Amino acid sequence: MSTVCFFHTGSVLCEPFDELAAEYIPEGDYFHLVDESVIDELLSVGELTPSITRRICTQLSLAEQAGADVVLDTCSSTSPAVDTARQLVDVPIVKIDDPMAERAVELGDRIAVVATAESTLGPSTELVERKAEATGESASVESTLVDEAFEARLDGDTDRHDRLVSERVVGLAEETDVVILAQASMSHLESDLSDRVSVPVLSSPSLAMEAIANRVTE
């Protein structure tokens, strides 16, 4: 079975992906690669600079050198850099939101993308638009930033974070066919929100792990 590398820009994601790996690739080998300075600088400068892109490409190249047969980039904000890294790294690199964007396009024409970090909103929205274009589908993508929730999470107020995101999703669900939770940090809300609204609510981790499981068992 193939070896998987999970590339994170936050160490907080290691434990959740340990749990996902136990569920989706219980017999598989995997390791984590973490560079928190990437997201710190990205949030500081507000955009994915050439310097940050080079660092991400270096980390993904190191993942290959460390023995990974497939890499999952778990940070949606770094998504555009993966397109560059794919030209430099010989092993497959999966963006965490690739499978989610593909599923969203399959489910409806009116898609809402919800993020709490501005660095994620643009890349996630553009990814959905590209997936729709690639399949010939006509999609209307609405981007929504819940920046108050991001601040609440930084302050450690997860209850307020969850309430603000949930309120926004419930409102959007009345006008869309599917809602995307664009960051893994919101994925714990997927189940509850799916019960509260009449349209599909998607988050990236489980769908990404389904894609990884299919690759490593081929």
Contact 78, 12 (CB under 8 A): no
Alpha-carbon separation of residue 55 from 6, 143, 176 (angstroms) = 16, 28, 37
Are 74 and 167 in the same domain? no
Rg (CA), the chain: 17
* pLDDT score for 178: 95
* pLDDT score for 10: 86
Are 18 and 111 in the same domain? no
Are 140 and 182 in the same domain? yes
Are 116 and 182 in the same domain? yes
* pLDDT score for 201: 95
In terms of Cβ atoms closer than 10 Å to its own Cβ (0-12, 13-18, 19+), residue 84 is middle
- Distance, in Å, from the CA atom of 42 to the CA atom of 49, rounded to the nearest integer, reads 8
- Each residue's pLDDT, cut to its tens digit, for the chain (218 residues) gives 789 999 998 888 899 999 999 999 998 899 999 999 888 888 888 778 899 999 999 999 999 999 999 999 998 888 889 999 999 999 999 999 999 999 999 998 999 999 998 888 888 898 899 888 888 877 889 999 998 998 898 888 999 999 999 999 999 998 999 999 998 889 899 999 999 999 999 999 999 999 999 888 76
* pLDDT score for 39: 85
Are 39 and 57 in the same domain? yes
Are 72 and 111 in the same domain? no
* pLDDT score for 218: 64
Q: Which domain holds residue 170?
A: 98-203
Are 107 and 195 in the same domain? yes
Are 183 and 210 in the same domain? no
Contact partners, residue 34, CB within 8 Å, separation at least 6: 7, 8, 9, 10, 11, 14
Are 32 and 72 in the same domain? yes
Structural domain count of the chain: 2
* pLDDT score for 64: 96
Are 22 and 87 in the same domain? yes
Task: Assign residue 117 the CATH number of its domain.
Answer: 3.40.50.1860
Are 109 and 137 in the same domain? yes
* pLDDT score for 191: 92
Contact partners, residue 20, CB within 8 Å, separation at least 6: 205, 206, 209
3-class state of residue 5 by DSSP: strand
* pLDDT score for 159: 94
- Distance, in Å, from the CA atom of 14 to the CA atom of 150, rounded to the nearest integer, reads 20
* pLDDT score for 183: 87
Contact 122, 49 (CB under 8 A): no
Are 47 and 127 in the same domain? no
Residues in the chain: 218
Instruction: Tell which residue, 92, 107, 93, 120, has the closest CA to residue 187.
Output: 120
